[in-house]
């Protein structure tokens, strides 16, 4: 008897699975979201950052000193990879005009007494104007100016020691009392793409899946057929509906993620310190949590457009709360708790720890626990929401029959 009950349950889940996957492939909007958007959007978003860092930013140097030392400083600026000196205006006013015309993104002002102050052993000042309205441009111009100034200062100090009769090695060791060695862990190129794109991939998976589920449920409601049961007859148990539908969404996204998280990931040459197979268990939890979340929300969408409006409104919040735009540790306590409403919040650090940092599953135990709790909670919420929605839908159908309103046939 028990075996027969289990067999019937499996058959019902399989029937719902077949019906829902047929609905998914027959709907142009869902295919566009599940396949085209889920694959194409990360690629289009990341192509702009494929060079990782900004180089050769055009700047102007206003050299009021016009001496050998000031010209050397200017050449050193131009030799850096971050900036390129494209103009040497006569005054700061001319440089300001170029800046407001967007022909340059920074100005370096060398004062008139630059060489004289250096030779006298006094502190010479160089003024750097950066475009702080564009963070990455500002960072590169400031980094280049700081590096050149440090190198220039070192040369002046060592030459002064050599003029006092010290040997070169002695002068160099005296100047460099502490020699730092810098190692850029997890992001060797210090590139923006390696920093931002893995997080965007996780967000795109979540948001596109939520939109696709919302479109399907909105279509079911518009056609007054809340459940596409296909070959399943009679009353379908609530838990079987949730499992059957969610298995469709997870199966589809296990295929699309092979493109975004394997082929596309390697195409961009992102750091990859683990096998994708090690991420699959975590990815399964993530996709099921999103699917249950999507079902619990989408059963209340009466039109397909409602799903698009709701998820589009939700996307900026997800981007901010999951720790991509701003570190989770720096968020206020209440805002941080709101972030745990979304599966991206635990999935993003877990993905980074496994894929980029090379940690094992033991390093993501906390994230796995949070994802599992989210999956269970959203599964329960999906059961409750689906039951309430089906009851509401049944009452609406009865009222339609009572008013002799035409009901669209099943498709």
Q: Give the CATH number, domain containing residue 140.
A: 3.40.1710
Classify residue 180: in a domain, yes or no. Answer: no
Classify residue 181: in a domain, yes or no. Answer: no
Contacts of 62 (CB under 8 A, 6+ apart): 88, 89, 90, 91, 92, 94, 95, 107, 108, 109, 110
Classify residue 37: in a domain, yes or no. Answer: yes
Classify residue 410: in a domain, yes or no. Answer: no
Instruction: Mark the ranges of the chain whose per-residue pLDDT is less than 70.
Output: 1-5, 48, 52, 154-180, 184, 188-190, 222-236, 391-411
| Nearest partner of 265 among 281, 256, 238, judged by Cα | 256
Contacts of 395 (CB under 8 A, 6+ apart): none
Residues 301 and 232 both lie in one domain: yes
Residues 272 and 355 both lie in one domain: yes
Classify residue 19: in a domain, yes or no. Answer: yes
Q: Please give the tally of structural domains in the chain.
A: 2
Residue with tokens 């000042």: 125
Question: Count of alpha carbons within 13 Å of 224, Cβ hemisphere only?
Answer: 14
Residues 222 and 245 both lie in one domain: yes
Residue 183 is given by DSSP the state -
Residues 230 and 339 both lie in one domain: yes
Residues 45 and 63 both lie in one domain: no
Give the model's pLDDT for residue 136. Answer: 78
User: DSSP states of 249-314 as a string?
Assistant: HHHHHHHHHHIIIIIHHHHTT----S-HHHHHHHHHHHHHHHHHHHHHHHTT-SSHHHHHHHHHHH
Distances (CA, A) of 48 to 51, 80, 115, 201, 295: 8, 23, 42, 15, 34
Residues 230 and 86 both lie in one domain: no
Cα 27 versus chain centre, distance: 28
CA distance 146 to 323: 30
| Nearest partner of 106 among 95, 94, 122, judged by Cα | 95
Helix (H) or strand (E) holding 19: helix 2-26
CA distance 257 to 30: 16
Residues 312 and 392 both lie in one domain: yes
Classify residue 407: in a domain, yes or no. Answer: no
CA distance 292 to 249: 10
Give the model's pLDDT for residue 274. Answer: 78
CA distance 351 to 285: 12
Residues 29 and 65 both lie in one domain: no
Domain range holding 79? 57-175
Residues 212 and 65 both lie in one domain: no
Classify residue 411: in a domain, yes or no. Answer: no
Give the model's pLDDT for residue 373. Answer: 94
The residue from 120, 151, 175 where one domain ends is: 175
Give the model's pLDDT for residue 388. Answer: 80
The residue from 175, 206, 238 where one domain ends is: 175
User: Helices 168-175 and 135-163, interaxial angle, to 10°?
Assistant: 140
The residue from 132, 148, 175 where one domain ends is: 175
Q: What angle do CA 399, 401, 407 make, to 5 degrees?
A: 110
The pTM of this model reads 0.76
């Amino acid at each position: 008897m028990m075996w027969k009950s289990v067999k019937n349950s499996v058959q019902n889940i399989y029937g719902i699975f077949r019906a829902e996957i047929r609905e998914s492939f027959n709907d142009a909007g869902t295919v566009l979201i599940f396949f085209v958007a889920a694959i194409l959007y990360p690629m289009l978003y990341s192509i702009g950052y494929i060079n990782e860092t900004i180089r050769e930013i055009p700047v102007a140097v206003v050299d009021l000193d016009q001496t050998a030392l000031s010209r050397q400083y200017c050449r050193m600026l131009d030799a850096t990879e971050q900036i390129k000196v494209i103009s040497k205006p006569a005054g700061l006013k001319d440089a300001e005009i170029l800046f407001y015309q967007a022909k340059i993104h920074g100005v370096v002002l060398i004062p008139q007494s630059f060489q004289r102050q250096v030779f006298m052993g006094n502190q010479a000042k160089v003024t750097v104007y950066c475009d702080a309205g564009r963070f990455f441009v500002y960072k590169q111009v400031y980094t280049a100016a700081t590096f050149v100034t440090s190198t220039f200062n070192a040369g002046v100090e060592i030459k002064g020691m050599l003029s006092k009769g010290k040997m070169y090695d002695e002068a160099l060791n005296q100047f460099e009392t502490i020699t730092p060695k810098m190692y850029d862990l997890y992001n060797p190129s210090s590139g923006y793409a390696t920093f931002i794109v893995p997080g965007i991939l996780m967000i795109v998976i979540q948001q596109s899946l939520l939109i696709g589920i919302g479109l399907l449920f909105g279509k079911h409601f518009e056609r007054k057929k809340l459940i596409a049961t296909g070959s399943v007859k009679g009353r379908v148990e609530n838990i079987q509906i949730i499992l059957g539908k969610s298995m469709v969404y997870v199966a589809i996204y296990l295929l699309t993620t092979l493109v975004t998280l394997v082929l596309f990931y390697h195409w961009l040459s992102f750091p990859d310190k683990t096998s994708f197979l090690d991420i699959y268990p975590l990815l399964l939890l993530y996709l099921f949590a999103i699917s249950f979340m999507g079902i619990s929300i989408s059963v209340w969408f009466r039109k397909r457009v409602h799903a698009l409006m709701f998820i589009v409104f939700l996307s900026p919040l997800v981007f901010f709360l999951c720790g991509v735009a701003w570190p989770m540790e720096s968020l206020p306590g209440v805002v941080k708790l709101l972030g745990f409403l979304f599966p991206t919040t635990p999935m993003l650090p877990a993905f980074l720890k496994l894929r980029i940092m090379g940690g094992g599953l033991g390093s993501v135990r906390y994230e796995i626990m949070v994802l599992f709790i989210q999956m269970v909670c959203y599964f329960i919420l999906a059961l409750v929401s689906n039951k309430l929605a089906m009851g509401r839908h049944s009452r609406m159908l009865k009222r339609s029959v009572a008013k002799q309103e035409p009901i669209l046939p099943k498709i």
